[in-house]
Amino acid sequence: MTLPTLMIDTTGNVDQADAQRITYDAMTNAKIPAALQPYIIAGTGVPTITAPKGTIYTRLDGTASTMLYVNNNGATTWSVVTSV
């Protein structure tokens, strides 16, 4: 069985395929190539490693405002996630 290729919009939770609205929760058969799959890592200091877009980094020596980062370009650019 061959699954259809779906274009995923990473800026939101829905996309259109064949004129049908698809939510991420409904896409149980969608596959992301292993080299592009985001993952969760931990370490000390500001992250500087190359990682797939969407990878989460937990900073073990961070403060409340610098404990969580997300890779936003699939290279070495990380954005700190802040909460109130």
* DSSP codes, 1-39: --PPP----TTSSEEEETTEEEEGGG-TT----GGG---
Question: Which element (helix H / strand E) includes 40?
Answer: strand 40-43
Q: Give me the chain's average pLDDT, please.
A: 75
- As to burial, measured by CB atoms within 10 angstroms (0-12 exposed, 13-18 middle, 19+ buried), residue 32 is exposed
Confidence of residue 62 (pLDDT cuts 50, 70, 90): confident
pLDDT band for position 56 (50/70/90)?
very high
Domain extents for the chain?
1-31, 34-84
Classify 59 in phi/psi space as left (phi over 0), alpha (psi -120 to 50) or beta. Answer: beta
Q: Which residue has the tokens 């936003």?
A: 72
Percent of the chain, pLDDT > 90?
A: 36
